[in-house]
């Protein structure tokens, strides 16, 4: 059996060679950072969707604000489409790192 050799940590990455296979340890770290960034983007998107729909609901209580409420619902609905797009970009980005 071949011995495992570990390079000392550098500023960028740590690689381990075992049985002729080079494993990039820093890959998981980069992947985690990308996931965390996209998770925050998704949280902000979800929060804004809630604000649009809550505002629209409140505006519908007053007849003079109904048009604005309708626009809030429309914006919230359109923003709901952004969620899957964010997840697609996250999957593509994690795949590339």
The whole-number pLDDT of residue 93 equals: 77
Separation of CA 47 from chain center = 14
Q: Which domain holds residue 72?
A: 28-96
For residues 45 and 73, give the distance between their C-alpha atoms in angstroms, rounded to a whole number.
15
Q: Is residue 21 situated within a structural domain? A: no
**Looking up tokens 């048009």, which residue turns up?**
67
The whole-number pLDDT of residue 74 equals: 96
Q: Using one digit for the tens of pLDDT, what is the confidence trace for 4-56?
A: 555 445 545 555 555 666 656 677 777 788 788 889 999 999 999 999 999 99
More confident residue, 65 or 11: 65
- Alpha-helix residue ranges (DSSP H) falling in the chain: 26-59, 66-80, 82-96
Count of structural domains, the chain: 1
The whole-number pLDDT of residue 60 equals: 95
For residues 67 and 8, give the distance between their C-alpha atoms in angstroms, rounded to a whole number.
64
Tallying the residues shown for the chain, one arrives at: 97
Q: Using one digit for the tens of pLDDT, what is the confidence trace for 40-52?
A: 999 999 999 999 9
Q: Is residue 55 situated within a structural domain? A: yes
Q: Is residue 36 situated within a structural domain? A: yes
């Amino acid at each position: 059996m071949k011995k495992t050799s570990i390079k000392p940590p550098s500023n960028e990455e740590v690689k381990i060679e075992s049985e002729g296979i080079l494993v990039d340890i820093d890959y998981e770290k980069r992947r985690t950072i990308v996931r965390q960034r996209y998770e925050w983007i998704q949280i902000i998107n979800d929060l804004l969707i809630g604000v649009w729909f809550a505002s629209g609901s409140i505006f519908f209580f007053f007849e003079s604000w109904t048009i604005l409420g309708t626009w809030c619902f429309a914006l919230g609905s359109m923003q709901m489409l952004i969620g899957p797009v964010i997840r697609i970009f996250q999957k593509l980005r994690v795949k590339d790192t």
